[in-house]
């Protein structure tokens, strides 16, 4: 029964984003190896494209094992997963290592100072 109706479910945002980050990582590696050069606008353009819904949404880059591995990492309480500061990639750290790095960063008194109370309400009042 061909009614020429096509139904496409919207892909989960994190899945498209993950695919795009894998692609950007591959492009970055090619650029690092001197095989290609890219424009500085490439990353924002690709990430904007990843936010759009178009065509068939079956990934050729990700398979069931990728999703299983990411779920196992996410569910492991001894692992912290965060975005890298200067790239569209992820950093996977052990919990203790991550907490120690955060303590080292926050203990730099030239950049941070300890406060005795939460200033959020005062700042909100001044903003209004």
CB 112, CB 106: distance < 8 Å: yes
Q: Report the number of distinct structural domains present in the chain.
A: 1
Q: Domain of 29? A: 10-62
Any domain includes 48: yes
Q: How confident is the model at residue 8 (pLDDT cuts 50, 70, 90)?
A: very low
Structural domain contains residue 106: no
Residues 21-30: pLDDT tens digits? 888 888 888 8
What does the chain come to in residues?
A: 128
Q: Which pair of tokens denotes residue 29?
A: 């590696």
Q: 4-18, 42-56, 86-100, 106-120: lowest mean pLDDT where?
A: 4-18
Is 121 part of a structural domain of the chain?
A: no
Residue 126 covered by a domain: no
Residue 91 lies in a domain: no
Burial 83-106 (b: 16+ CB within 10 A, else e): eeeeebeeeebeeeebeeeeeeee
Residue 36 lies in a domain: yes
In a domain, 127, yes or no: no
Identify the pLDDT of residue 3: 37
What residues contact 9, with CB distance under 8 A and at least 6 apart? 57
Is residue 96 assigned to a domain? Answer: no
- Give DSSP secondary structure letters for the chain: --------PPPPHHHHHHHHHHHHHHHHHHHHTTS----TTHHHHHHHHHTS--S----SS--HHHHHHHHHHHH-TTEEEEE-SSSSSEEEEEHHHHHHHHHHHHT-TTT----SS--HHHHHHHH-
Model confidence over 93-127: pLDDT tens digits?
899 999 999 999 999 999 998 899 998 999 888 88
């Amino acid at each position: 029964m061909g009614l020429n109706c096509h139904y496409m479910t919207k892909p989960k945002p994190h899945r498209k984003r993950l695919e795009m980050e894998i692609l950007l990582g591959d492009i970055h590696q090619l650029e690092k190896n001197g095989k290609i050069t890219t424009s500085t606008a490439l990353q924002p353009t690709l990430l904007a494209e990843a936010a759009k819904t178009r065509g068939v949404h079956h990934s050729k880059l990700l398979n069931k094992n990728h999703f299983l591995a990411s779920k196992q990492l996410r569910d492991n309480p001894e692992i912290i997963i965060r975005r890298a500061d200067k790239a569209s990639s992820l950093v996977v750290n052990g919990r203790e290592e991550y907490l120690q790095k955060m303590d080292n960063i926050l203990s730099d008194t030239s950049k941070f100072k300890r406060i005795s109370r939460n200033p959020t309400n005062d700042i909100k009042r001044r903003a209004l």
